[in-house]
């Protein structure tokens, strides 16, 4: 009797096709590390942008506190000092000028700052005289300058009272500088708190909720 041969084909395990995940026309595994790095570095870049924006806002506020109310000659002196700081970092004079203009434009947009107009020679002379008086009074600390003002008022002469007015203006200027710095500090502090609250809300953990409850209690107190 003839032997029957089974001719049915049996698939070899090695012949089974394994589906390869694709991204476009490339295997996904070829792009995995690249995409991972993009995500990782995007996170870092966004964080740096956020931190840079907060720092820039504080610097703009500080600059505005200095330039607001200045006459043209004083404003241009601030510009020269500002540009010197930029140029010191290797930027050209033209580049420093553009940086200054961007800073001034932000002050206009955020603080309604108005650039002072060019002045007459007489106005420039008065500004220079004011600068000389400020430099002269710089040798007095806050306590000493208050005592000097009291002495002049006590003298009661026209000349003494005029000098007392100058000293009063200098005291007001110093107080304004302190208030400006405090304002910038509070602004930065407030932005940091807001950022932290957003992080806590996004976290959604029990610890985060506990902190949020405490903040709510403080805010409603």
Which residues have C-beta within 8 Å of that of residue 149, sequence separation ≥ 6?
A: 164, 167, 168, 171
pLDDT for the residue 64: 93
DSSP string, 94-131: HHHHHHHHHHHHHHHHHH---PPPP--HHHHHHHHHHH
What are the C-alpha distances in Å from 38 to residues 23, 34, 45, 51, 131?
16, 6, 10, 20, 53
The confidence score (pLDDT) of residue 182 equals 67
Element (H, E) at 23: strand 22-23
Question: Of 175, 65, 177, 163, which is closest to residue 110 (Cα–Cα)?
Answer: 65
Tell me, yes or no, if the pTM score tops 0.95.
Answer: no
Sketch the domain layout of the chain as residue ranges: 140-221
Residue 14 has a pLDDT of: 46
The reported pLDDT for the residue numbered 104 is 94
Report pLDDT for 82.
Answer: 92
Paired strand residues for 26: 23
Between CA 221 and CA 218 the distance in angstroms is 5
What does pLDDT average to in each consecutive run of 10 residues of the chain (221 residues)?
A: 45 54 84 84 85 88 91 88 90 90 92 82 71 75 82 83 81 71 70 79 80 76 64
Cα separation of 163 and 133, whole Å? 10
């Amino acid at each position: 009797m003839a032997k029957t041969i089974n001719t049915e084909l049996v698939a070899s395990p090695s012949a089974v096709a394994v589906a390869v995940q694709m991204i476009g026309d490339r295997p996904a595994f070829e792009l995995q590390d690249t995409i991972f790095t993009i995500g990782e570095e995007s996170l870092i870049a966004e964080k740096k942008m956020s931190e840079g924006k907060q720092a820039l806002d504080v610097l703009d506020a500080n600059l505005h506190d200095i330039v607001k109310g200045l006459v043209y000659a004083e404003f241009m002196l601030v510009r020269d000092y500002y540009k010197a700081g930029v140029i010191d970092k290797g930027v050209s004079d033209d580049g420093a000028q553009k940086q200054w203009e961007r800073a001034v434009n932000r002050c206009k947009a955020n603080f309604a700052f108005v650039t002072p107009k060019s002045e007459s020679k007489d106005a420039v002379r008065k500004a220079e005289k004011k600068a000389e008086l400020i430099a002269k009074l710089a040798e007095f600390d806050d306590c000493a300058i208050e005592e000097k003002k009291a002495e002049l008022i006590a003298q009661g002469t026209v000349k003494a009272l005029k000098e007392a007015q100058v000293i009063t203006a200098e005291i007001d200027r110093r107080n304004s500088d302190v208030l400006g710095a405090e304002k910038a500090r509070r602004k930065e502090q407030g932005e940091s708190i807001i950022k932290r609250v957003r992080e806590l809300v996004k976290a959604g953990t029990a610890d985060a909720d506990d902190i949020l409850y405490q903040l709510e209690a403080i805010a409603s107190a």
